[in-house]
Amino acid sequence: MTVQVGVLGATGAVGQRLIQLLEPHPDFEIAALTASDSSAGHAYRDVAKWRVDTPIPAEIAEMTVHATTPEAIPDDVDLLFSSLPSSVGAKVEPPFCEAGYVVSSNSSNSRMAEDVPLVIPEVNAEHLDLLEVQRDERGWDGALVKNPNCSTITFVPTLAALAAAGFTLEEVHVATLQAVSGAGYDGVSSMEIIDNAIPHIGSEEEKLETESRKLLGTFDGAELTHDGVEVAASCNRIPTLDGHLENVWVEAEEELTPADAADAMAEFPALDLPSSPDPLIHVFEDPSRPQPRLDRNLGDGMAIAAGGIRESTFGLQYNCLAHNTIRGAAGASVLNGELLLENGYL
């Protein structure tokens, strides 16, 4: 069965990545594109300012862009991928859900709402059932599922691997070195930050600290309990194009050796979904890997890379990396779409 899908916010940096990933997708077919009112009514090629690294698909180029309202979406569309600015997402996503659409959203609004599943399928697929609570509470025929922030997605799978191997995580410190594409078009043009690093990125640190505990939490069928692990984050923008690199320190209740951690990460399973890479986590022995330019495209940009796993005075220390606009954003939403399909929500 092919599901007809739409992309909300199709002209932005993540919207373009969504089109790049969805156009050849085995289960999804792009049937609608939306953008701001000023782009509506125009051919996509005329308003997209296409910047991703493969050519704009010919059929997509000719599609007419719609305004971002439920009335503008063709009736046969069942699933919407949203990469809207969060202030816009907060206003327009609920009406789409009310109108019966299932929305897989990368936008940061509502990520921490208690009845909105925040999902990385390999980590907490079972949280998707929170949609039953959401539908009861909100009376929606549709549904809203979120993926986390790109820098959260980079390190949480490594923590989940340690937890799955039986380690009880007590405290985590994470320092990020984030690529400029995380800031969208403005970020890419800010490559003039070369010879510089900026030790502040909006509300990024809070997102890593809160989203990680929600993702690692447990859902008992009625209520979600956030994990008790303490997380402290420090976020930095550096002049790389794509790929967020992170330094992580973990303290566990049990003794956790570098060999235990490497095994846990290497063995953490992928899922049988089209966009879940196998292996999910590549573990490097070379302490100078992973690096953004060398390793961001592992698993077609959907894998996590880890390395430099060592003992530190604080506990275990390692580095990890993910492609921020693929695994961390567009690919994350597509993967959640695949999970929604597998679980009968479409």
Residue numbers at the binding site for ligand 11C (CB under 6 A): 108, 149-151, 178, 182-183, 201, 204, 207, 324
CA distances from 37 to 11, 42, 329 (A): 12, 10, 24
Q: Which residues contact 70 (CB under 8 A, 6 or more apart)?
A: 95, 96, 98, 99, 101
Output 182 or 337, the one with its CB closest to ligand 11C.
Answer: 182
Report the residue number whose CB is nearest to ligand 11C: 182
CA atoms within 13 A on the CB side of 108: 17
Output 52 or 256, the one with its CB closest to ligand 11C.
Answer: 52
Find out whether 81 and 17 touch, Cβ atoms under 8 Å: no
Give alpha helix (H) positions in the chain: 13-22, 44-47, 58-62, 86-98, 121-124, 130-138, 150-164, 184-189, 204-215, 258-267, 292-295, 331-342
Torsion of CA 296, 301, 303, 305, to 10 degrees: 0
Tokens of 97: 């859900």
299 alpha-carbon distance from chain centroid: 15
Neighbours of 297 (CB within 10 A): 16
Query: Is 244 an annotated catalytic residue?
Result: yes
Output 56 or 248, the one with its CB closest to ligand 11C.
Answer: 248
Report d(CA 283, CA 213) in Å as an integer. 24
Q: Which one of 127, 244, 282, 323 is the catalytic residue?
A: 244
DSSP-assigned letter for residue 19? H
Output 180 or 280, the one with its CB closest to ligand 11C.
Answer: 180
Shortest distance in whole angstroms from residue 193 CB to ligand 11C: 13
Shortest distance in whole angstroms from residue 181 CB to ligand 11C: 8
Shortest distance in whole angstroms from residue 86 CB to ligand 11C: 7
Shortest distance in whole angstroms from residue 324 CB to ligand 11C: 6
Tokens of 128: 């998707």
CA distances from 142 to 33, 70, 96, 135, 274 (A): 19, 12, 7, 8, 23
Q: Which one of 66, 97, 127, 150 is the catalytic residue?
A: 150
Q: Which residues are catalytic?
A: 150, 244
